[in-house]
Each structure stands twice: as structure tokens, then as C-alpha cells.
A and B are shown apart, each in its own frame.
Chain A
């Protein structure tokens, strides 16, 4: 992996001078046949790839009217040019959203418009050749499909849709991305992105039950495959594995316990995430989602609640109805789908949770809006609920909360830099550079308000920040950013929520001693 320089954090955002092709060399590992074939794609670059790619483009233009509108309607006004975190972090003009769109638009014009067919040079149309395929592969994997640019586009052109279409065309001719496709294949084989088999999941959940009992003195359960439970929780498998995700999972368990509601995790659908969206494949997105429907029916649950995962919430909120609906097998008195933040917020509003905010007094929080939650979904029943509800939860459980620059939050939030299928070590350079705009806003609140922690509600954001934060420490200076600054929103809930009957002090010590004695027998 090539070495690269971490961008310097500036006091004010600056639009960089252009450096042509500086990120040309950034390409993720290519998927092998064993990654592509389970998804229904050819193993490697197919013969006749050019015609097949054009055919696929035609197919997508026919299926997705939006795509054609986006390709036709750009007037090159330039409003989007400085809105992409990857452009701001890399200075590469092809990372301007309009230029990224043009990579596909130029080929669209050549084969699907009158002017492009007869006067290609006049309208910026170009032939599809292998160089174009390579360029697509590189620059459409420098887009996290975060849709920030579309907020500022006067026509609402959605670069994410264009990126998804480009990746779908690439997959169709056998040029897949290893990271995404390997993961989707694991979902089909094992049930989750991580490849966590049922015995390991069971063992992890039991281990967490023991941990929670040691901390509360109460037998809080994380049930697996319990038929007839009221709620099925689907959550990113990172919540079973990674830090700080796992502390969020403990938080959900504590909330469910206090609510006195029966719930379960499914070993068959042990993944909320859906990388089918990242690769723009409707079929794969549907196949992944279907596992959740099947598990819910099989377990006979009444409700499905989502854990902290950004893109999964988008898939569920925006696509589930057509992908796997109707949901007539669920209780119509509850929203489908429902977010864990909605669930917790509801209990807070009804004063059903005993909160000791001082438990979080050692922290000063800020909140990072995840792109997919912010710009593609909602929570609660009011516009902007997806912004207000997570903040209301944090403020209900913490005394110290600070907002980042409003130009970088809510619908204008910057992506963490690792979304959209880019959260892989082979894309470290683009991930670090793309994190720069968010890091500048975070740095400001760390410097000015002593913020100690960055709260997130997305597994990708949590992993990405944990990884890239340390890159932004200045050499020789005292360490300002560390991976443990990143926290799950439900970790904060966990720390402040006092359960009915929870044990403390000597009583808790005695309980833990008894647990240890029982384990030794």
C-alpha cells in the first residue's frame, strides 16, 4: 500500500487547488470468482464486456427513471463541486460530484443520445473502452454514496444513484469489488457480514450476559432464536464483534430488559447491513432483506427493531416495502421498521427509564449524523426526527453536549469517509483523506469546548472513526485523537440507565463474588 500524507486540519474549511489525477491510483482489490459467482455475477471480466455493459446501462435506464433524469439534467452550474468530502480531502477534480457523474454521463451520451451518437466531441461523449472501465472502477469507489452533493444540487441530482448504477454495470461484466462481494457471499453462506457462525454468536451473547450481570447484578438476557418473542432485533454484525459497537448492543439489551419486553436476535438473519445497496444490485439487496422477513415469520415476532446501522436503516426505511413487503404478519400498532432510537426515545418520553446522567459526566459529547440516516430516512413522526431523536437521547443521558458546525451536521452532514462499501484497508488513503472535513469540524469542538467523545449510530462510522482518528494526531504533539473517543449512542444509554433492582457497591461485589464462586464449581 502506498504511503500517503494525512491532510492537515485547518481552522476554516478551504476549497483546495485542483491537482489532476492525484487519486487515479486508488482502486480497491478486485473480487475473485468465488466472491462474484454467489451473487449471480460472472467470475471475471467477460468476453464481449463492452456490449454487455451498454446493454446493462440500457436496462438500468429503463428500470430507473431517476437515473436517466440525473444523466440528462445537469447544467454544470457548479453548486456541487466543493460539497464532496473526497474532493475536499484529495483535491482531485474527478472527485467533484459533477465530474464523477460525467464519467458515466459521457458514455451514456455516446450510446443513448442523438448528439452523442453523431457529434460526440461536441457534447463530451466518449466511447466505452477498458480505460473507461478502469476509471469507473477507481472513481466510483471514491464515492461513499452519502448524497451530500444532492442536497446542494438545484436539480437534486443524486450522485449515489449514478455510483450504484456504475458499480452494477461493473459487476455485470465481472469487475466486482472484493470487499463488498466477499461480504455479501458471506451473508448467503453464514448469515452475516462478519461470517460469525451460530455457535460463536451464541457464545458471544452469553459472554455479554455475564458481563452485564457483573456490572448490574441482574440477569439481563441477550436471547437468540426465541420463538414467539415480541421483538426481533436486527443489528449490524459488527455489534457482536467490534469496539465500541458491542457497548451499544449491551445498551439495547439493557433498554429491552427495563421495558420488560420479550425480544430475540435471529441466527439466520444475524445482519441488519445490506451491502446489496452499495453495489447497486436490486436482486442482491432483495435476497439479503428476504432473510430478515423469513426469520421474522419463522420466529413469529410482532415487531422488528433495528440496531445502530446507517445504511441498513435506509434499506429498511426506504426500500423494504417493495423489497420484502407487505408486513401484514407484524403488529400494525407499531411502525415497520422501527429504530432502536425510536424505541428508547419513546420510553424516555414516557418517563419509564430511571436515568442517572452523572454517570456520563466524565464525557463531553458531540453527535455525528450518519449520511444514510440523515439524508435518506426519518425517525419518529415529525420531519427531522432522524436528527432530533438521537440528540434527544444523548441529552437525556448526558449533561455535556456540544453541536459541531451546523454547516457539517443534519442534512449537510459530512460522511465519515468510510461509507458506501469503502470501509476496507485497501482504501485507507481515500478513507483518511475523506474524513478530513468531518475531522475539521470535530477538531473545532475538541479545541474550543473540550469535547471528549464522538457519538455515532452507524457501525461503519464507528469503525471508520476508530481507525482514522489517530491519523490526525500531529507528530510530536500530545495525542489529541484516540480511537476510544468513538462511542455508540446506546453505550451512553447503558452507562446512565439504572435498572429496577440494579445492585451497586458492596451488594454488587457480593453478587459478582457469588457468580465467580459458582463458575469455579
Chain B
């Protein structure tokens, strides 16, 4: 009892609030990555192993464009567009021939893509991490910290992109096609929806979202060729915990897991904090295998 009392007396409330903000920021970036992944899975039944590499590629293109033009916003848009084109090309060349085969083939093919992209980045940009300057350098006071505004902007931008994407799905013609394909592929095709085009489009959109999050994230830690695996792993966890193919669930799970990891770093080393999200995944698989944030278990 005494120990518990002691724990609460020394409980670092300010640290807790700082970590909440950190967790929310990380969670929004992760949500942006994971929503692309879950979209691709939900529509195409493809687990995109190369998603982390698309994220990494976006970040590199961001670094290069920003170094060339000096404009962060131009870098963000250029990275999203270029990686969207890359994604569309990859989908047409490698995934389209695999439609109708066992889904395991697509996980192998996207794994191959991730290998090639990762080694291409290593070859082109070298093993040392590239840094990207923050576009917004002002800070505000958060307890004893000078907290960068840029992180808050990241969270808001990610939320805006996800919101825009949601509106796109809800109201645009292509978005309606996507939702129709997700509901019933054969019926959608019978109604004249060009399903192959929808597939390619979905992959391109997912890739663009990964690239955008890559650019947003780049100024925080820097960019290297191996960063993809961490992100794709986290995104996998989020997508499974949120319920495969469930957009809202993924966003909730991304924030939930990032907050937990963020709190865990108060007590343990950041490299060990990832184990928290692994544990969440294991518990989810054991008790709610359809996903934590699915309202009606199917």
C-alpha cells in the first residue's frame, strides 16, 4: 500500500501530459500510414508488405525535392504524386497478374517489391540517414519543454488528409466505386464499374498516403533506407488490432497503440517500448481476433 502511495506521489503528471501529446502526434502519422494499408487490404485482399518502403520512398523524395526547391509543401505534394505513380506502376506490373491466385502470392510479391525498393534506396542514397529541416521552427511552452509547433501541425495535417480521404470515399464518383468494389466485387463489375482501374487507383492512393506520412515524419528523426520495416510492422499491428480492412478501427487503434507506447517510454527504453504494442497485438489475437475496435463481431 505504501509503495502504491509512493508511486502516486512521484507520479510524473507533467511527463504524462507531454507523452500524451507525443503519442497523439505519432498516432496520427501512424493512422495515415495504416489507413492506406487497410484500404489496400479491404479492397484488394492484398497485404502490402512494401507499404513501409513506399513510406520511406516518399520521405526520400521529400528530402530531395526540399533540398532542390526549398519548399516543404511542394516536397509533400511531389512525393505523394510520384509515389502514387510508382504505386500504380507496381500494381499493374506485379499485382495485376496475381489477381485470382492465392493471397499468399501477393504477400510474397509485395515482399519482393519491398526488397528491391529498400536496396534501391540504399544504393542511391547511401547508408547514412538524411536530415530534413522542419518547415515550421517556432516552439511553444509545454511545462519545462519547448515543444515544436511542427509536431502539432503534423497531427492536424494527418487528420486533414484522412478527413479529406473520407470525404472522397463518401462523395466522389471514384470513392463510390471503391466502396462498391469493397462491398461486392462481382456485382460492382456487373454494374459496369472498372474494377481493375479501381484496384490500381486504390493502390496508388494508399501509396500516396504512405508517402505523405513519410514526408511529414522525415523532419522528426531523419530518413534512412531501413525505416520502412518499423513502420510496416506498426501498421500491420494497427490494422490487425483495428480489424482488417476497417478504416475507423485502424485510426482508433493507431492512436491507442501510439499512446500506450508513448506512456511506456516514461519507464522503459524506447526500443523496448515497442514490445507494448506487440503485447496488445497478442492479446487482441487471443481474445478479439476480429479486432478491438469492431463494433459488431462478424
Whether A and B are associated in the same complex: the answer reads no
Q: Which residues of B contact A (CB under 8 A)?
A: none
